[in-house]
Structure 1
C-alpha cells in the first residue's frame, strides 16, 4: 500500500528497535538514481483516520493527550492499521472505540504520507456519515486520555487558523473533506 512509484534497492538492513506499533531501522539503500546511502527511519504499518460528520453537519473529533508533545491535541478518530488488516476495517473499529459512534456510510478521501523524512507511515483518510451513537459508551484503552468534541466545520477551521493544537493528519483530512461538508 502507499505511493511506491520508485523503489529503492535494499542492500542491507538492521533493526535498531522494535516497538509495540512500529520499528526503527537503519537500511543501506541504492536509490533510484543509482547512488548508495544509509538511512534511519521508522517503518510504520500505516494509520487510518475518518472525518465523522453528523446528520446536522457537525464534526466529531477527540481531544487527546499526546505525551510526545506534552499537550492535548484536537484530532479526528484514527488508529494504527493492524497486520493484514484493511485500513477501512481499522477505522470502522477506531471510530467506535474513540467516539462511541458507528458510521453507516463510508467514503475514501485519499491517502498521504505523514512524515516522509523519517517515517514510512501512510494515512488512509475516510469520510464517515450517517452516524449512530452506540448504546454503551466504549472503555478507553489504558494509554488513552480522550474527550469527544463536536465542532462545526467553521469552528474547526477557526481553531486551525488560530494555531490551536490540532494534529497534521486531521488538518490534512479536514481539507480533503471540504467538498463533502
Structure 2
C-alpha cells in the first residue's frame, strides 16, 4: 500500500477567531513535490436527534449569516475546550429547545469537509425527553419547531432543511422507520 501522507514543512497562521482558525501549510507531497494547503481548524460540534413522544423531530429555526437565510436545524453546538461531546449534547438540547433528556446515545461522528477543515460533528440520539425552558446563548436567536418525518422531507425538498447534520438526522430517522415496519 502506497504512503499518501503529506508532511508539513511550514505552517502560517492567518486568522485566530472565536470559533475557527485558518492556516496555510506548505507540504511535501507523496511524489516529493511541494504543495500548499489552506486549512480551517474547528473544535468540533454535536448535533442532537430528539424525537418527541408524539413522533416529531425537535428542530430550531435560526438565521444563518453565511447562507443569508433562516433554516431549520437539529439542536447543535460547538464543543467547549476539553468538553465531552455527550455532555455538550445534553447542554445544547436544553439551551436551544428547553428539552431535557434522560440519556444520549452516540449515533455517528463524521467530518463535515475534510478537504479543507477538521470540523467533526458527533450526532447523538436523545432518549426520555421532558420539557423545560429554553436558555439560548445571548447572541443566539432560535425558535422551537417540531415536525413529523413527512414534514421534514418536505422541508428538505423546499431547502428550508439544508445543512448536513439535519439532513443526516432526518435520513437516519427515516431509515429507522423503514426498518421498524
Aligned partners of 2:98 and 2:135 also within 8 Å: no
RMSD: 1.8
Distance across 1 between alignment mates of 2:124 and 2:145: 18
Which of 119, 122, 141 is the equivalent residue of 2:137? Answer: 141
Aligned partners of 1:52 and 1:129 also within 8 Å: yes
- Which secondary structure does the structure 2 equivalent of 1:45 belong to? coil
Match of 2:152 in 1: 156
Distance across 2 between alignment mates of 1:166 and 1:49: 14
Post-superposition offset of 1:32 = 5.1
Deviates more, 1:146-155 or 1:104-113: 104-113
- Which secondary structure does the structure 2 equivalent of 1:56 belong to? coil
Distance across 1 between alignment mates of 2:126 and 2:161: 23
Does 1 or 2 have the higher relative contact order (CA < 8 Å, sep 6+)?
1
Q: Does 1:77 align with 2:75?
A: yes
Post-superposition offset of 1:176 = 2.8
Match of 1:167 in 2: 163
| Pairing of 1:69-108 with structure 2 (within 5 A) | 69-108=67-106
Post-superposition offset of 1:170 = 0.9
Higher CA-based Rg:
2
Match of 1:67 in 2: 65
Number of aligned residue pairs: give it.
174
Scaled by the length of structure 1, the TM-score of the pair is 0.87
Distance across 1 between alignment mates of 2:71 and 2:165: 11
Deviates more, 1:95-104 or 1:154-163: 154-163
The structure richer in strand per residue is 1
Q: 1:40 to 1:53 in 2, by over 3 A?
A: same
Match of 1:44 in 2: 42
Distance across 2 between alignment mates of 1:160 and 1:33: 43
Post-superposition offset of 1:16 = 0.5
Structure 1 stretches of at least 4 aligned residues deviating more than 6 Å after TM superposition: none
Aligned partners of 1:79 and 1:90 also within 8 Å: yes
Match of 2:14 in 1: 16
Distance across 1 between alignment mates of 2:174 and 2:104: 15
Q: 1:44 to 1:32 in 2, by over 3 A?
A: farther
Distance across 1 between alignment mates of 2:176 and 2:31: 40
Q: 1:163 to 1:106 in 2, by over 3 A?
A: same
